[in-house]
Amino acid sequence: MLPLPVLYGERVGVRGGRAHGVSVETCPPTPGLHPTVQSDLSPQARRGAPNRQARPASNQSFCNVGVLVLLLLATSPALAAPKLFESTQVTPSGEYTFGIEGPAVDRDGNLFVVNLGRPGTIGRLAPEAASSEPFAELPQGSVGNAIRIDRDGTMYIADYKKHNIFAIEKNTTTPRAIFHSDLMSQPNDITLAHDGTLYASDPNWKARSGKIWRIAKAADGSWQGAAMTAPRAMGTTNGIDLSPDGRTLYVGESDSGEIWSYAIDGDALINARLVKSFEPNTIDGLRTDVGGRLLVARILKGAIAVLAPDGHVTREIQLKGKEPTNLAFGGSDGKTVFVSQRQGGFIESFRSDQEGREHCLQQDRC
């Protein structure tokens, strides 16, 4: 068998986010033979006469042709980087329950999502994997609704059924309750600040009201939390995240479809500002990127809305499923957005042009 050129590159896909460079290793020239295909034939053979003096085709000739073909393939649109903001389904339909939620990505690129197969579980999607695998189970009766992961690899899970916050240390799978309050209605979603403080949304669906909790480590190492005061009565608080500088908290209220921002002053939320009003009951989880934009899951609308900090909608990304519940940034560069889909129980993803705030935080750059 003649030696062929070898391409060195990485798999092209929505998941990765690397620069897919290609280099070529060619075969060494064969001594004494001219490196062109035509010269491998005698003049008689080229005229159609019997080729009694034809020389065998050289390795170099085949290599040159192979190199040209492979370089053309490498530069074709099919192998180009995926287009921005075009979503594709990543995992099979039906993997997760109707309660699929809380996507979060660790520093190693693993995606974690709650309720794999049945309530109370956490699934793991490894980088480049096509299906999820079981990762952990919460104690009996507890059901997760949100996950966040800090720079040390500790995973935090909001248990909306039993009013707990669980932690799973890196390289372990056993959840440990770090905070509980009977005064909580849930919690629903959580976000992490640079100093490790957790903020949790806590909707009361029946009363169509809500709160935000601040939960942080005390000097003795225990976790302490309290509902934050706010300058206005909140609706059903749901999606939640911080601005890149950590000074502003964004809160989505599902019943009204409104997204509000607040300045943080210790245990108080101040300077309430209405960022954007959507139709009632059409927003769920949200995330911020390093540019300060908000990405909002438009449940029942089948889209992710991209908002400037002033509330202006700059883009709507159409999804494969119609009921996105939440999203998370991942990939090697933090620009791959994973979306949990209630309709169909699967994960889809698309590429963004900005790194996620939380990914930047995990890398200790924000």
pLDDT of residue 364: 85
Residue 108 pLDDT greater than 50, yes or no: yes
Model pTM? 0.80
Tell me how far apart the alpha carbons of residues 217 and 340 are, in angstroms, rounded to a whole number. 30
Q: Is 66 helix (H, G, I), strand (E, B) or coil?
A: helix
Q: Identify the band that residue 365 occupies on the pLDDT scale cut at 50, 70 and 90.
A: confident
Q: Tokens for 324?
A: 């996105």
Contact 20, 8 (CB under 8 A): no
Ordered domains of the chain (ranges, CATH): 6-79 (no CATH), 88-362 (2.120.10.30)
User: Cβ contacts of residue 231 below 8 Å, gap of 6+?
Assistant: 262, 269, 270, 271, 272
pLDDT (tens digit per residue) in 262-316:
999 999 999 999 999 999 999 999 999 999 999 999 999 999 999 999 999 999 9
Q: What is the predicted pLDDT for the residue at 312?
A: 97
Q: What is the mean pLDDT of the chain?
A: 85
* Residues 349-360, mean pLDDT to the nearest whole number: 97
Angstrom distance (rounded) from CA 129 to CA 36 = 44
Q: Which residue has the higher pLDDT, 20 or 121?
A: 121
Residue 5 pLDDT greater than 90, yes or no:
no
Per-residue pLDDT at 16:
53
The answer, yes or no, to whether residue 183 has pLDDT greater than 60, is: yes
Tell whether omega for the bond before 187 is within 30 degrees of 0, i.e. cis.
yes
Measured torsion, CA atoms of residues 315, 317, 322, 325, in degrees rounded to the nearest 10: -80
Measured from the Cβ of residue 293, the count of other Cβ atoms closer than 10 Å reads 21
Determine the pLDDT at residue 98: 97
Could you give phi then psi for residue 77, rounded to 5 degrees?
-60, -30
CB of 43 within 8 A of CB of 52? no
Measure Cα distances from 230 to 212, 241, 249 in Å. Answer: 9, 16, 12
The 10s digit of each residue's pLDDT in 216-244 is: 999 999 999 999 999 999 999 999 999 99
Distance in angstroms (rounded) separating the CA atoms of residues 6 and 329:
33
Q: What is the model's pLDDT at position 47?
A: 38
Distance CA(104)–CA(85), nearest Å, equals 19
Question: pLDDT tens for residues 39-92?
Answer: 344 444 333 444 444 444 445 544 454 444 444 444 444 446 779 999 999 999
Q: What is the arithmetic mean of pLDDT over 102-110? A: 97
Please say whether the beta carbons of 167 and 203 come within 8 A.
no
Vertex 189 angle, CA 185 and 195, to 5°? 115
pLDDT at position 149 over 80: yes
Instruction: Give the largest CA-CA distance in the chain.
Output: 97
Strand-pairing partners, residue 168, are 155
- Structural element, H or E, at residue 360: helix 357-362
